[in-house]
Amino acid sequence: MKQDSRDRILQTATALFAEKGYDSVSLRDITAAAGVNISMISYYFGSKKGLYDAALAAQLSELSSLLSMDADAMDPRTLVREYAERAIRAHEKNPHLLKYIFRALLSPSAAQTGLFEAAVSRIYDLLDHALTRGVQEGLFRPDLDVPSAVLLLAGTVNFHYISTPVRDRIAAEKRVLPDERTYVSHAVEVFLRGIEKPNPRDAETPSPASADADF
C-alpha cells in the first residue's frame, strides 16, 4: 500500500512537472491530483525538490545506466550503438522525457538544471572518452573534432523525437515515415560511417564515374 502511494505521487508529479514546470507546480497541486496527504511527500521524498529529483532521475535512468558499463572494455562503435539503443528505450518508457529536456534547456530554474546537467555531463564525458579512444586506436578519423562529434551524435539520435510534431504535420501526408528504431539505427550507422577512418584501399579504387572518364 505504501509503495502504491509513493508510485502514485511520483507518477502524478512527473506529469505535472512536465506540463507546467517545477516553479508552477505546488505540493497541493500534486497531492490533490494524487489523492494523498501532503505529509506523504515529506515522508517519501523529503521535499518538493526531492520529489522533482526523483521524477527526473526516473526519466533519465535508461541513459544513466550507461555509466555503469565498463566502457573501456568496449569497442567505441559498440558504445555509440548502445547509447542510441538506451536513448530509444528512455523515450519509449518515458513519454514526458522530451518536455523535461526542453524545460531544462529553454526555461531553466535552479531546481530543474542541477541533476539534469550533472547526468547529461557524465554521459557527454563518457561519449567524449569513447570517441577520443576511437581516434587513438585508429578506428576513427585522426582529424575528428570529438566535442563536435559528440554533440552531433546526441542531436542525431534525439532528432526523431524533437521533430515529431513537425514531421507529423508536414511529412505524414507525403510519405511513410520511418519508425523510431529504423530512423535511429540508420542515423547512427551513417554517423559512424562518417567518423570512421577512411580505408586507403577505398581511395585507390576508382568509382564507376571516374572509370568511365578514362575512356
Q: Give the integer Cα–Cα distance in Å for 41 and 32.
A: 12
> What does pTM read for this prediction?
0.80
- Three-state SS at 72: helix
Give the per-residue pLDDT at 100. 86
d(CA 157, CA 186): 10
Ordered by start, the domain boundaries in the chain are 55-198
Smallest CA-to-CA distance from 188 within 197, 177, 176, 180 is with 180
Alpha carbons 158 and 189: distance in angstroms, whole number: 15
- pLDDT for the residue numbered 215: 38
How high is the pLDDT of residue 140? 98
* Bridge partners, 196 (sequence order): 140
pLDDT at 177: 67
Q: What is the pLDDT of residue 48?
A: 93
- Enumerate residues 6+ apart whose C-beta is below 8 A from 80: 127, 130, 131, 153, 188, 191, 192
Report the pLDDT value the prediction gives residue 3, as an integer from 0 to 100: 65
Closest of 85, 95, 102 to residue 21, by C-alpha: 102
Amino acid at 122: R
- For domain 55-198, is the CATH number 1.10.357.10? yes
pLDDT, block means (10 residues), the chain with 215 residues? 83 94 92 94 94 92 90 95 94 89 74 78 94 97 97 90 70 66 92 90 54 46
Q: What does the alpha-carbon distance between residue 94 and residue 108 come to, in Å, rounded to a whole number?
A: 20
